[in-house]
Amino acid sequence: GAGVSQSPRYKVAKRGQDVALRCDPISGHVSLFWYQQALGQGPEFLTYFQNEAQLDKSGLPSDRFFAERPEGSVSTLKIQRTQQEDSAVYLCASSLMGLAGGQETQYFGPGTRLLVL
Amino acid sequence: TQLLEQSPQFLSIQEGENLTVYCNSSSVFSSLQWYRQEPGEGPVLLVTVVTGGEVKKLKRLTFQFGDARKDSSLHITAAQPGDTGLYLCAGGGSGGSNYKLTFGKGTLLTVNP
């Protein structure tokens, strides 16, 4: 089945490098979310897109984090000048509607595990 | 800031035992979701509860939403090794932010054969 896919699954970066993480949502899903999950923690909301519009970026930790979804499907989360504290699993999720349905299902991808040395 | 506290943080039991995990908050949530996450995978939704006092059953799993919509519990009957995983609760935001989920830290459950 065509679930949410993310690439790469693992990324090792040296401190100061830029990284780009890709998310392919379920086809036709309007809403897309990015979460950060540190070791031993639950996922924390980063940002939310409805189609190509970024409606909420309140969870992005700093201006080094940037997300885009230019054509309303694939999304990229970019982290500039990575720091050790950026090491975490970055999860992407999509849902059919998002804003119109507060209780609808978010489908998560397997995540990208980022390690910054 | 809405916070969700889950307890216990870790739980290791034998196959066939019953268990309950808890999710508590001082805030009211529009909805409460339970997820299970396995190593190297994303969370998978188990259930959504919306109404205070609501009880939902999913095979051997029973989910309850508190009357005041601030807390929830998950009860597993006759646990099996396949139930092993990280159980996360997540609260839905209110109003225009109802898409935003706030997750607890999770309960890591190990069911030994």
User: Are β-strands A112-116 and B85-92 bridged in parallel, bridged antiparallel, or unpaired?
Assistant: unpaired
Region A14-40 average pLDDT: 96
Q: Which of B31, B93, B103 is opposite residue A42, by nearest beta carbon? A: B103
For residue B100, the model assigns a pLDDT of 85
What whole-number distance in Å separates Cα of residue A87 and Cα of residue B84?
25
For residue A23, the model assigns a pLDDT of 98
B29 — pLDDT class (breaks 50, 70, 90): confident
Return the number of other C-beta atoms located less than 10 Å from residue A98's C-beta. Answer: 23
B27 — pLDDT class (breaks 50, 70, 90): confident
Interface of A with B in 31-70 (CB under 8 A): 31, 33, 35, 40-45, 48, 56
Q: Are A40 and B105 in contact (CB under 8 A)?
A: yes
**A/B interface, count of CB pairs below 8 Å:** 63
Q: Which of A42, A102, A107 is opposite residue B30, by nearest beta carbon? A: A102
CB < 8 Å to B96, chain A: 99
What whole-number distance in Å separates Cα of residue A19 and Cα of residue A6?
14
Substitution target in B99, B102, B103 with the highest count of A β-carbons within 10 Å is B99
- pLDDT tens readout for residues B30-79: 889 999 999 999 999 999 998 899 999 999 999 999 999 889 999 999 99
Q: What mean pLDDT is reported for chain A?
A: 93
Token digits of residue B108: 């890591």
CB contact under 8 A, B44 and A99: no
Rounded (5°) CA angle B56-B59-B108: 85
- Residue B8 or residue A99, greater confidence: B8
A2 — pLDDT class (breaks 50, 70, 90): confident
Among A15-24, B11-20, B89-98, the range scoring the smallest mean pLDDT is B89-98
Task: Name, in order, each residue with C-beta under 8 angstroms of B6's C-beta and a sequence gap of 6 or more.
Answer: B21, B22, B23, B24, B87, B88, B89, B104, B105, B106, B107
For residue B78, the model assigns a pLDDT of 97
- pLDDT tens readout for residues A54-79: 999 999 999 999 999 999 999 999 99
